Structure 1
């Protein structure tokens, strides 16, 4: 008798890098300015040169305001990655909603095309998309960004394609995210805007691997 497949173990909830969550509009706007400044400086000088003081100067806020939200620059960059993921999920959801009759291939296009669009246009996204570069000594370890992305995409795809977000789909989406991440990193190392041939290969791989599961 074949063994009964066991469900994947539940993953712990993602940790949020904010020391405190803003409750007033003024604090929310200040946090947004800090993250915007962080993104700009990442594009200009990279993660290694990023500092909380430089972000405070660029954002036009006291350094204490930065430390009110973040313990160090890694937590600040991680918060930017969380914001990127929230916006990515919103934009993918909007693309799926706008599709006249979403099917597996249109859904894959929405997921891939929105990522490429953000990679090309969103400040700081080229370096910190959904996760922060490998930690230096003492900086701590983050949640696995590809797991976070896969969890969000699994829910979106299941909802819009009217199929259960079961363990099989979660596993398939995670494998698709890992494979696409590796190929798109290669595409954007090859060309600053993403090598078209490698992007096409990524799309073909996702069509072949993921579409049958999304259509089931």
Structure 2
């Protein structure tokens, strides 16, 4: 699995299988509790109790609940980046998260919309299936976003999509706008997904389907105007 760069690492990396299972259980429970009670009410004691691990095991790997949330966010993002890459290179196992061109799949997307559409679909999947993803992705609790502690999830995804546009310039034909174009796509599509899940815990299908159409229309206009200006 890809692990995004810029996230603080746990104070200790589990080596033994039993320790790795405990860490996985703690992160799973962290996500469940984030959905149930939110970040402010979350405590390491609650995590230890539900995960059925000694409180000492929590502090063996994580200094506090913030590190737990960071590690869970990194896991969610890593899974998302891998799934974005899958359609373009199903044979690969994982890529480093440095966003270098060499790290990307060798088969380019058909066009810029295929890349954005894949991100949209996989973000919906994350919201539906990964506990804690909505809280961590939206960053609705300001305590999750202490300046300088870790990158915002949007920026990690924008970096990843920007690398696609830089490696495959034919996707946009406007090299100087690659990052801004990626930002527009990520921000618009994520806002639509967030709206769909505010309307319905399972994701309002009408918002999701209409949102896809309107987002493509908006982004098509954006890229068309930028291409015309570039020429």
The structure with more helix, counted as a fraction of residues: 2
Give 1:107 deviation, angstroms: 2.3
Instruction: Choose from 61, 71, 81 the match for 1:79.
Output: 71
Q: Which runs of 5+ in 1 are unaligned?
A: 1-12
Q: What is the distance in 1 between the residues matched to 2:152 and 2:175?
A: 20
1:145 partnered with 2:153: yes
TM-score (norm 1): 0.75
Q: Note if contact 2:158-2:186 (Cα within 8 Å) is conserved in structure 1.
A: yes
Write the mapping of 1:187-198 to structure 2, written as runs, cut at 5 A. 187-198=196-207
Q: What is the distance in 1 between the residues matched to 2:212 and 2:203?
A: 13
TM-score (norm 2): 0.71
Map Cα deviations across residues 37-96 of structure 1 (whole Å, 9 max, x no partner): 111222333323211011112222221221122222122112111100000111111133
Which residue is 1:42 aligned to? 34
Write the mapping of 1:157-172 to structure 2, written as runs, cut at 5 A. 168-172=177-181
Which residue is 2:50 aligned to? 58
Q: CA RMSD in A?
A: 3.2
Counterparts in 2 of 1:28 and 1:197: CA distance versus 1, 3 Å: same
Which residue is 2:128 aligned to? 120
Q: What is the distance in 1 between the residues matched to 2:170 and 2:48?
A: 45
Counterparts in 2 of 1:64 and 1:80: CA distance versus 1, 3 Å: same
Give 1:101 deviation, angstroms: 6.8
Which residue is 2:211 aligned to? 202
Counterparts in 2 of 1:190 and 1:161: CA distance versus 1, 3 Å: farther
Report the number of matched residues.
Answer: 200
Counterparts in 2 of 1:158 and 1:57: CA distance versus 1, 3 Å: farther
Give 1:111 deviation, angstroms: 0.9
Counterparts in 2 of 1:40 and 1:100: CA distance versus 1, 3 Å: same
